[in-house]
A and B are shown apart, each in its own frame.
Chain A
Amino acid sequence: MDFNFTPDQLEIKDLAMKFAKNEMMPKAHEYDVKAELPHDILEKAWSLGLVNTCIPAEYGGNGFSAVDSMIITEALAYGCMGMNTAIMANDLALLPIVIGGSDEQKKRFLTPMTEKYKMAAFCLTEPGNGSDAGGIKTTIKEDGDDVVINGNKMWITNAGYADLFVLYGTTDPSLKHKGITAVVIEKGTKGIEIGKKEDKMGHRCSDTRGITFNNVRVPKANVLGGLNKGWSIAMKTLDHSRPMVAASAVGGAQCAFDHSVKYAKERVQFNVPIAQHQMIQAMIADMAMKIEASRLLVHKAAWLLDNGLPNTQLASYAKAFAADSCMQIATDAVQIYGGYGYSKEYPVEKIMRDAKLIQIYEGTSQIQRLVIAKEIFTR
């Protein structure tokens, strides 16, 4: 049993935190207001090796473990949860290729991502299907050496700027999850219609859109793992991506906590800093406990993955607990700041808006509980 990071991991954390504090935090408010992607910041993060952490070394990546990528994600979300969503969405889109792609597909799709900064988009959710991922309606039909894709996708992160779209569809909706198929579509393929940018509560800089696929034709060579093999790829992707989203919740929560501690020491009421009032102390103590517990769950879920052990249940523990904790911590941070907390001029208001999304995307907090209960009752 060892809770210490390795010397490498300490250096990774140092760099990612330095980047978060020096490059992301000073611009987080500005890009939240403008609701624009900070392309220069994202590209700089990529040039330092902080993006696409899931790409294995043999395809040009840095060969990070899952724990390594959690450390990076937590730090980047500390800087700005919205910017981190744009960065994390790349991993989410590339993971199905890492997990289910052939050697040829990995070389074709992953390696170029390590040579130039490009964005990727994971296309699963539809206007009528979110939590019920097995019920997706977008069709993938065989046609000679090609497959033809038709359907609508919704809430797609990085949609407007992605070079790669990794899409889940079905060869036959009546097959439910047995018909799910994953396919890679390159930007510029005829029939892709990108919708308008959504005006969101939080993560406002991240580019979220609907996409319509109209008779989009790609070679069968772009299908990951073969037709009807998408469901298990999707499930394995979640085992990695859910701890990652949980790590982002830890980063956001830690940032809200650090602001709160600093403010509680400065703000004087009844002639003493509010840090000396017990009700504030209780909130700060609860925050600290929840952050540490969330982080340990994230690291354990990632550690299981790195050791080839089943982690579905832990991944859901981490996702639900960290997301719900982050929401509570961000809400309490606003409470500690009082009137100032409600103002956009202070940083905790944005974190509270950003925190809400973590409870929703990558499986809602409710879905995580269903996953956990299913794991418990089917064993």
Chain B
Amino acid sequence: MNIFVCVKQVPDTETKIVPSADGSFIETSSIKWIMNPYDEFAVEQALLIQAANAGSTVTVVRVGSTKDTEALRTAMAMGADDAFLVEANDNLDSYSIAKALKAAIEKSGKKPDIILTGKQAIDDDCLQVPQILATMMELPSVSVVVGYEGSATDITVKREIEGGALEVYGVKLPAVIACNKGINTPRYASLPGIMKAKKKPLTTLSLADAGVSEADRRVKYSNFQLPPEKPPGKKFDATDAAKMGGVVKEVVGLLRTEAKVI
């Protein structure tokens, strides 16, 4: 099987995010980059599928800046065979990213049997790329997948829906499958794996190579700013029963007049 995994590089979860000085994006100079945690599930699932289907290859694809190639190196250290990077600014919109991913997959010269992604990236939380990519490639797609089984041609996936219930889908491959936490436990990239990853092929393409231009942009970021600081909460003294009645009245009154929620 030709297995593809799309990964995104996101700021480490412990990063303190600040808007850049001109407000056009976030300040990226001091960010430590990691692979999007949901994409780790996708990489692990790709490796599990590869192990179950002898002769399969796992190719990782990413669109983003070359300042750090952490996500691709991690994926290859975990066991992926090769990687494609479409060089671009980190503030592309979902449509442009999906278009670039499609182009990179096609440039690999391999016809995909399955494309795995994380269900969303933890930085902008758009939850759009898998679906746009599937539409562009005219493939079926299932997102928020927490269970996976099947052969090289037919799979059964479980996806989480509201209220914790599960939907079960039978899917004919090729398809785009977006993984959620729970589908597997991602392996660590071992130290020998990290060393081996350096020798694995990484092909870099430009956005122009991928046929993506500014004209493809559907969303433009106009300004980044921190949310306004929350005003301090109000405290009400209801330490004894005698005060209780008055406090309840006061709170209800404020919810009406000040918060205007009732």
**A contact residues vs B (CB 8 Å cutoff):** 8, 11-12, 15, 18-19, 47-50, 62
Contacts and interface: CB of A to CB of B under 8 A. Distances in A.
Contacts of B73: 11
Interface string B70-84: 000100010000000
B190 interface: yes
B195 A15 contact: no
A47 B194 contact: no
Interface in B114-164: none
Nearest to B188: A48
B191 A47 contact: no
B153 to A, nearest CB: 33
A164 to B, nearest CB: 22
Contacts of B26: none
A15 B195 CA distance: 12
Contacts of A49: 190-192
A65 to B, nearest CB: 13
B188 A62 contact: no
- Interface size on B, as a range, is under 10
Interface string B168-192: 0000000000000000000011111
Nearest to B194: A11
Nearest to A114: B192
Contacts of A48: 188, 190-191
B190 A8 contact: no
Interface of B: 73, 77, 188-192, 194-195
Nearest to B195: A62
5 contacts: A8-B195, A11-B194, A12-B191, A47-B190, A48-B188
A272 to B, nearest CB: 16
Contacts of A62: 191-192, 195
A19 B194 contact: no
Of B188, B189, B190, B192, chain A has the most CB atoms within 10 Å of the CB of B188
A18 B188 contact: yes
Nearest to B189: A15
A49 B194 CA distance: 10
A12 B194 CA distance: 8
A75 to B, nearest CB: 12
A12 B189 CA distance: 10
Contacts of B77: 11
A50 B194 CA distance: 12
A6 to B, nearest CB: 12
A47 B188 CA distance: 10
B102 to A, nearest CB: 30
A269 B192 CA distance: 49
Contacts of B195: 8, 62
Nearest to A12: B191
Question: Which of B189, B190, B191, B195 has the most CB atoms of chain A within a 10 A radius of its CB?
Answer: B191
Instruction: Give 4 closest A-B pairs by Cβ, nearest first.
Output: A49-B191, A48-B190, A11-B194, A49-B190
Contacts of A19: 188
A49 B190 CA distance: 6
A153 to B, nearest CB: 32
B180 to A, nearest CB: 19
Contacts of B188: 15, 18-19, 48
Nearest to B73: A11
Contacts of A12: 191, 194
A305 to B, nearest CB: 20
A27 to B, nearest CB: 16
Contacts of B190: 15, 47-49
A259 to B, nearest CB: 16
A9 to B, nearest CB: 11
A11 B72 CA distance: 13
Given A8-B195, A19-B188, 9 more contacts: A8-B194, A11-B77, A11-B194, A12-B194, A47-B190, A48-B191, A49-B191, A49-B192, A62-B195
A169 B189 CA distance: 41
Contacts of A50: 191
Contacts of A47: 190
A274 B140 CA distance: 57
Name the residue in A11, A12, A47 with the highest tally of chain B Cβ atoms < 10 Å from its Cβ.
Answer: A11
Contacts of B189: 15
A18 B191 CA distance: 12
A339 B111 CA distance: 64
B191 to A, nearest CB: 3
Nearest to A19: B188
A47 B192 CA distance: 10
A48 B194 CA distance: 10
A4 to B, nearest CB: 15
Contacts of A11: 73, 77, 194
Nearest to A11: B194
Contacts of A15: 188-191, 194
A48 B189 CA distance: 7
A11 B76 CA distance: 13
A8 B198 CA distance: 10
Contacts of A18: 188
B51 to A, nearest CB: 16
Contacts of B191: 12, 15, 48-50, 62
A11 B190 CA distance: 10
Nearest to B32: A14
